[in-house]
Amino acid sequence: MKNILLLCCYAVFSAASLDAQKLNDKAQAMAVEIEAKVIEWRRHFHANPELSNREFKTAEKIAEHLTALGIDVETGVAKTGVVGILKGGKSGPVVALRADIDALPVTERTPVPFASMVKSEYNGVETGVMHACGHDTHIAILMGVAEVLSKMRKELKGTVKFIFQPAEEGAPPGEEGGAELMVKEGVLKNPDVDVIFGLHIAAGTDVGRITYKPGGTMAAADRFVIKIKGKQAHGSTPWSSVDPIVTAAQVINGLQTVVSRQTELTKEAAVVSVGMIRGGVRNNIIPEEVEMIGTIRTLDTEMQEKVHNDIKRTAIKIAESQGATAEVDIQIGYPVTYNDPGLTLKMLPSLEKAAGKDNVDLVNAITGAEDFSFFQKEVPGLYFFVGGRPLKQPEGDIILGGHHTPDFYINESGLIVGVKAMLNLTLDYMTSAK
């Protein structure tokens, strides 16, 4: 009797696995069929970029596409975001898939026929606008995933929530935006999301490859402002001053020891960088105040708190030693992009099916930051990278540039890997959910 039960269970399990494989194979074949459309969409968005919280036409085109697929659409989420809900024919978990949609204030220099000619204003300065980080590819990939899954809705064991997020690069000064605002407005609710997946194109990774890391994969990014206040005097009599410029120089040197001498770097990486310093108006006047602005990158929450405290102590005590005072303001930015270890391990085969097992690499964390982390603070998430670097130098005058540069370049043959990966993650998670 026991053997009969085991055989029955095995038969049921085998049938379920076979059905799941058929579903995956069907999705993969449909992904290949729409590859040309994905590339066409990418080129449209690349030629028509919009800055953070100003993605009006981008959102309109996304909404039109989702609506045409019969997906329930909500617009104006976190100002310009679009959310689509696709209810499957069978009960199951709610899987969220995210793509960011904003561009950067960068003037494009790549000689591709669909290069951006868009001009805008950023911080009061006229600038070109460019998808210099690849968000155009993210939009196109998720639009492709939505099209495939919409044609399989009766077979889906659950619900898919497509999140097209604005302002990943940061909202304009004085505005809210991005993933943080989406979470605040309840994007992960109604229906409640069980898990979220996101990807990023990688200009430095070969086409056809996927990279990932469990745990902290991208850094928390915080901003600090330090004001050194001294005593103003004539430049010819420095002894009658409390020189905030000299004090600031010593503070900058002291800040370098926060990472090099006070942080356990064998645990995780950390970065403290001063990006701007300003003070004084004339060559022969020692000013009263100097301001420094910089960034803090950490990959561990305990380390983040320690680094913040070390920066405050270092700046304040060095200033005091010179007879000056230091005011330290640390503004919390993006949290650590943290891939749930259990979820990452569970979904690794899905990534390997998309790119091939030999083309999926475990990598070290990077000190860039991503506001996808706000979603991961609420629900388990997995964020991974898809290669976009051509295997050989492109013909013509194209110079391969990295992210956030005028020469940023992506080989579009890598987009299909992103489509396949997101499809696999969605279908495999739904199939395996209890």
Q: Which residues are catalytic?
A: 334, 412
Beta bridge partners of 161: 85, 96
Contact 126, 60 (CB under 8 A): no
Contact 122, 109 (CB under 8 A): no
Interatomic CA distance for residues 431 and 434, integer angstroms:
8
Interatomic CA distance for residues 84 and 212, integer angstroms:
26
| Burial (CB count within 10 angstroms: exposed 0-12, middle 13-18, buried 19+), residue 187 | buried
123 Ramachandran zone, left/alpha/beta (phi>0; psi -120 to 50): left
What is the signed CA dihedral for 120, 122, 127, 129, rounded to 10 degrees? -60
Q: 390-394, long-range: CB within 8 Å, 24+ apart, which pairs?
A: 390/207, 391/206, 391/207, 391/208
Q: Report which of 339, 262, 268, 328 is spatially closest to residue 297, judged by C-alpha positions.
A: 268
Q: Report which of 315, 341, 339 is spatially closest to residue 327, judged by C-alpha positions.
A: 315
Q: Which two tokens stand for residue 406?
A: 């005028």
Any idea what DSSP says for residue 428? H
- Omega before residue 111 within 30° of 0, cis: no
Amino acid at 128: G
Q: Which two tokens stand for residue 392?
A: 């050989």
Contact 101, 55 (CB under 8 A): yes
Q: Which two tokens stand for residue 35?
A: 């590859």
Size of the chain in residues: 434
Other CB atoms within 10 A of residue 237 CB:
9
Contact 385, 199 (CB under 8 A): yes
